Each structure stands twice: as structure tokens, then as C-alpha cells.
Amino acid sequence: MRKLTEPRPASGVPQTPGQALPHESAHKHVSGAATYIDDSPALPDTVYIATGQSTEAHARIRRLDLEQVRVAPGVVDVIVQSDIPGKTDVGPVYGGDPLLVGDETEYVGQPLFAVAATSQEAALRAVELAVVEYEALPAQLTVEESMAADSYVLPEHRLLMGDPEAALGCAPHRTEGELYVRGQEHFYLEGQIAEAHATEDGGVHVVTSTQHPSEVQKLVAEVLDVPFHRVVAEVRRMGGGFGGKETQGAPLACLAAIFARRLRRTARYRMPRRDDMVQTGKRHDFLNRWRVGFDSDGRIQAADMVLAGKCGFSPDLSEGIVDRAMFHADNAYFLDNAAIVGLRCKTHTVSNTAFRGFGGPQGMMAIEAIVEDIARCLGKDPLDVRKTNLYRPGRNETPYGQQVSQLILEDLIETLEKTSGYRERRREITAFNREHHTLKKGLALTPVKFGISFTAKHLNQAGALLQIYTDGSLMINHGGTEMGQGLYTKIQQIVARAFGVSASRVQVTSTRTDKVPNTSPTAASSGSDLNGMAALDACERVKAALAAFVAEHFSVSEHSVRFEEERVHWGGEQHLPFESLIQLAYLNRVPLFATGHYRTPKIHYDRETAKGQPFLYFAHGAAVSEVTIDTETGEYRVNRVDILHDVGESLNPAIDIGQIEGGFVQGMGWLTTEELLWDDKGRVLSNSPANYKIPTAFDVPERFNVALYHCPNSEETVYRSKAVGEPPLMLAISVWSALRDACASLTDYRFSPRLDTPATPERVYWALQECRTFNRKHRPSPEVVTS
């Protein structure tokens, strides 16, 4: 595994973007000093919350008897929907998400009522005492059932480019297929949690584990029926988020706030892991279907694709998620005749939600399967078909009308192809597979092109508040949230670089809605892009005031003022230590604080025409994965991974490489071991670590090489950097492709079997059986068996 060995700069040396500094809380994390919500001491009168859950996927509630719940030991209060003082719906975009159920339940685990008790154990025991009678209603539990019933949470959307039907009819070759891509549990280390304190003015202060403090503020205010300014939402850090805390944390905050106000006591709601896995949304399952036409070189001439997302019982964020799946159904490839339809399927399961990639990974899976099927049909290496179809000059318009302006993937792939020894290893693996009967190896190089911006235009903005104190220390507050990804560290470095001082001078404080209002979620890989630019704007405002003061005070030009090496320079050799200049400015009544704001330029999208520029730019990358499978059992091992990833001018190479490694392993888990399962009654079966398998250290490839592709962003982002949160997850598609490649070796690479995800050993085994069936039908050459 690649490790950075660059020494940490000595104290007092300016530490700027581009340096591999440790995470600002790294020592706190490993020492246990980092404080999470459940670590904070509880006040003596704190109450703890639990909810009573539906046991039916779809039913009317005929009777809800809570008498035994109310008199259970430790119970302080019990509420139902009619006890909510304000709005009862906490849907983030569209309605349909009741905080507590009224008359009808739509998934197993949906909250019916809530209990506050003197301990969490008492609350959990009490909710089991409820008597509930149901009238069962028909339930749709699968994507196929939803499509058959024509039942969707939102209307379909369609992208169209060229004339795909005509092009399909003229294409020399055609193929069609489908792939079922299962979802993924977020499995953040810190579960969902919120704590609320009533304030003297009738409001609440909510400390919450959320990626979207402003949405928590809004929804809490609405359920309490108070103005937004009566609610403060605060986040210092989360123990992981991955999208699962963008909308899913708000109901906990709302219930905690209701009890805090009703009882005038602190209320804490921490979901046990099993409840968390049942009651919160996951990555969407997708059923992808396609018809494709192509020529003898493997160039795609027409594509007709349907992407059907399993949304659950309500819209949640499914409009944007399915949109992004459609926007990434091309991945890195030019489709000049394409129809892409996105369906948002209603099922009586928990509403699925944001997860790292936000639909993009599921959309990419379809086109990567298509490219490999084309390669097998033509007897080509899949890499050559991929390279044939890459975006390039004159072939750089996406199906939604955006031009891909920074065309770096061809060079990036060529570079990785050489540094990973792809061609030599391909020859060696082909020879190995001919000589070995039981063990087979697979190799795949897959690219990623991922659009960066929220697809909801109004979310592409951020604010920051900068304060400089008279000792020369700086404090920055911004709208982004820290979930371990290093956003606070990057903001710290951005501010330090702006003033030419060490990062140790800069303190990034908890995200609070009373410091920076109306913030966007920390999502869509936009945390550094948006908040970094807002922080930089605040810095430039203060620097402009300081430069004007220096120019007037010392009778020099403003243009001669420079902030470098812990000092402020002007004129020729004149300078002062940074803190001395700050003290002088204070004595002369120069404002030493400023707000900053940033809004992403150029982006727009017209849903009526399905054309526009939804993304400011694209982040790119590629990965080569090598696997070995046992053809008798389907078991496999990932032997080696080589990654070359585009982060523009890296703000912090250590953090960026950590994000690439972590994103890749999380993506590998999604595609190989993490299997979400429901029974035929709509109950989640994968509801604990015992039956849901995330990757462990033993699953990390023994050889794991990560390098950064050095090319500044062509767009004016913060110091020409690029987002790094989500794109690396999709590099793990190379592992799935390598497994498919290993299976295809049984047919002498003439056929790729269907391999739905996650590609568990069982699914790999059945894919191998499909290959053997192909061999029997097509009389392949006998396998060579070694002694």
C-alpha cells in the first residue's frame, strides 16, 4: 500500500494547500480525545428516546394501544403523530415522510410512536409493550413489481441524443442485456444520533450528527411550529456519513426537539445499530436494461437504456439520484445516439437515500457491462473497446448536452496502462488461464468520469465567517461538515495559504446555523469546492482591508502588499510580523472579520429539454485490478490494484490519497461482499454486522498502488483543485470487471456471463456455470489441465 513519507513541516513554517499535512483531528481520533455526541456527559435529567416500529410492509393501523407503554418503568412521556405541534411531514424535497405514522404504514420498521424514558434500555423495553392491530394491504417489494404496477414515487425522466432507434437498425452488430445492481448499507461507525436542549426563548439547540445542519434547523422549526431563528443546529464532527446523514438524521433531531420542549429536559436519541439498519435508507438498488448497436471496431453507434431505481416508499432524494445515474450512464464514453430513461420505482420498503456517488455508480455499471459484452462479441480486449469509445475532440458532447472540455482520460489511461504493466500482465494471465484448470485470473482497467456539482442548482453555494484576533490567530466557520474526510483540514490550509501563515494559527470551528445560515449539505463531493471558495472569499475581503490600511499608513501602493512567511511585506524590504500588523490594524479600527460567499458559475439544466451543463467540471481516474478465482467454489481474492486519479492541484495529497484508498475499498465492498436482503414480507434480513459483511483489512489488496495524476483543474476552483470524495468509489468497478474477465476465460474470452452485484462467491459460481453452459452449446476448445 502506498504510504506518504513527506515529513510534517516544523512549527512556524507556513503550511499551505499542496502539503501532505495530517488530518486536524488525527491525534484526537487515535487517542480517543475526539468528542462525538454520545461521548458527551449526559445531564442528570436527560431523557432517552426510542420508537415503536411497524411490523407490516403496507397496512392500515386499526388499533394502537399504548397504555402498557405509558406505565412501563422509566417512561416519562409518549407521543403519537397528533402530539406533534407543527408539521408532521419531514420529507427533504417532496412530501411523503411522516415523522410518526398516522393511519397507514408503508414499510417494516416505520415509526408509529415515540417514547422518552430515563434510560435508553427503559425506552427500548417500553416500545415492545404496544398493542397494534393492522389491516394488511398489497405491498410492492421489488423493482419488477413496481414496474409491472406502473407505480413510481416521481415521474420518469428521459435523455435523448441523436436517433438511437434508427442507429440501432443500421448497426452492424447489436447486443442487449440487463444487470441488477444491489444497494449498500452506509455502516458509518457512529450511528444516527441527536441531542436537543430547550432554550429560554422557546427554541431548541440541537447537537446532531448530520451532513445538512440547515435542513435539520428547518425541519425542527417546522415540527415545533417556531421560526427558524429559534433553532440552532450544531455539528462538530461525525463518525462517518457517506450520504446516510444527509437526510436521515433529521427525524432523530425532530423527535429529540419535541421531547426537549415538552419536558424542558435534555433529550437524546441514539439509534441502536439494528434499528439504524432497519429504519434508515440505503444506496438504491438499480435494475439496468439496454439495447446497443456497435460497429466492427467496437465503437458504440446507438444505445437505448432504462435505469430503474428502487426508491422505497417516498421520494426522499430519488429525483436527483436517478438523474445522476442517467448523467453517468455514459461514464467515459461518447454516445452520439442515445436514449436513457430513468424510473423512480415505489416499493414498500424504507426510502433509499444518498450514498457516496449518489446514483452515478449504478449508472456506470450498465455501460461498463456493455463495453465488455461488445469486446467478447468481437474478440477484443475490453480495454481496447474502452479506449475506442472515449470522449475526445469532436466527440465530446454528453447525452445531456454538456461539453467535456478537459479531455485527459486518454493520457491518464495510457499512463496507467504503462505504469501498471497492463499489456504484459494481460499476456501472462492469458497464458496462466490456459495452463490452469481450477484457478483462473482476471484483469481489468476501467475509467471514471464523474461530474462535480449538485444537480439541484440552488445548492451550489456556500458561506463562511472569518475572524482574526489581535494575537494573530484566525478562526474560520463555514457551512461544511466534517465526517472524517478532512474538510476542516483543507479549509485550515486554504486560510493559512491566503495569509501566508502556518496552519497552526487557524482554528476551524463547529458548523452552526447561527454562524453561517442557509447552508447546503456536505455532499456531491462539493465540500472543499464550495466552502473552500467561500472561506477564500472571506480571506480576500479581510486582506483587501488590511492592504488598504498598510497602503495608507505607510504611504505605499496596495499592490506592493504581500502576505508571506508569517509576515506582511510592503514596498521594498519593509515588513512586520503578521500578529504585529494585526495589532496595528486593530488600533486603527480596521475590521478584522468578514463573511465570504461563493456560488458555482456556469451550471444550468433544463428538465423540459433535458439539456444543459449540470456540472462545473469532471473528475477523472482509472484503476487496474487483478483477481484470482477458484472455479470450483466461486471464491476469489483481489491480488493487486493500481490507481491513477485526477484531483487537479491537490490541496492535501495525504488526505486525497486516503480518500482514494477508502473510497475504492468501500466501492469494492459494495460490488463484492455487502449484500442487502429482504424477506418476502418486506423485513430487512441484513440488519446487523453478523449478516452484513463490510470489507475488513484482510480484504484490502496486498499490492495497492495509488498515484495522483498531476493536471490543474481547467475551471477556477480553489487553487485549481478537484473534488475527491465520491469519484474513487467507482474505480472499484475494475474489481467487478476483473471477476467477470476471470469467468470469461473459461470460454476463451468469447462470452461474458451476467454477474449481478454484489459479486459474492455464490454469484461468481453461478456465473462460472453460465460460462460452462456456453461452452457446451458452442463447443469450445478443451481446457488444458496441468498435472
- The amino acid that residue 112 corresponds to is L
d(CA 734, CA 740): 10
- The DSSP call for residue 397 is B
- Cβ–Cβ under 8 Å, residues 213 and 512: yes
Using the Cα atoms of residue 666, residue 671, residue 672 and residue 677 in order, give the sign of their dihedral.
positive
Q: Which residues is 182 bridged to in the sheet?
A: none
CA distance 288 to 10: 53
Q: Which residue's entry shows cell 434510560?
A: 119
Among residues 319, 726, 762, 770, which one is catalytic? Answer: 726
Residue with cell 430513468: 342
User: Which letter does DSSP use for residue 22 in this model?
Assistant: P
Collapse the DSSP code of 170 into the 3-class scheme (helix H, G, I; strand E, B; otherwise coil) and give the result.
helix
Closest CA to 728 of 588, 530, 525, 541: 525
Residue pair 333/368 in contact by the 8 Å Cβ criterion: no
Q: Are strands 231-235 and 511-512 parallel, antiparallel or unpaired?
A: antiparallel
Question: Can you tell me whether residue 165 is helix, strand or coil?
Answer: helix
DSSP letters spanning 535-568: HHHHHHHHHHHHHHHHHHHHT--GGG-EEETTEE
Q: How far apart, in whole angstroms, are the C-alpha atoms of residue 495 and residue 476? A: 8
The SS3 of residue 673 is coil
**SS3 per-residue string spanning 56-121:** CCCEEEEEEECHHHHCCCCEEEEECHHHCCCCCECCCCCCCCECCCCCEECCCCCEEEEEEECCHH
Nearest to 529 by CA among 604, 618, 400: 618
Radius of gyration of the chain measured on its C-alpha atoms: 28
| Cis previous bond, 758, omega within 30 | yes
Whole-angstrom CA distances from 417 to 383, 420, 465, 656 are 9, 6, 45, 22
For residue 726, indicate whether it is catalytic: yes
Q: Would you say 320 and 358 are in contact if contact means Cβ atoms under 8 Å apart?
A: yes
Q: Whole-angstrom Cα distance, residue 349 to residue 679?
A: 11
For the chain, first and last CA: distance in Å? 35
Cα-flanking dihedrals φ and ψ of residue 758, to 5°? -70, 145
Beta bridge partners of 474: 468, 506
| Kind plus residue range of the DSSP H or E element containing 242 | none
Cite the active site residues.
726
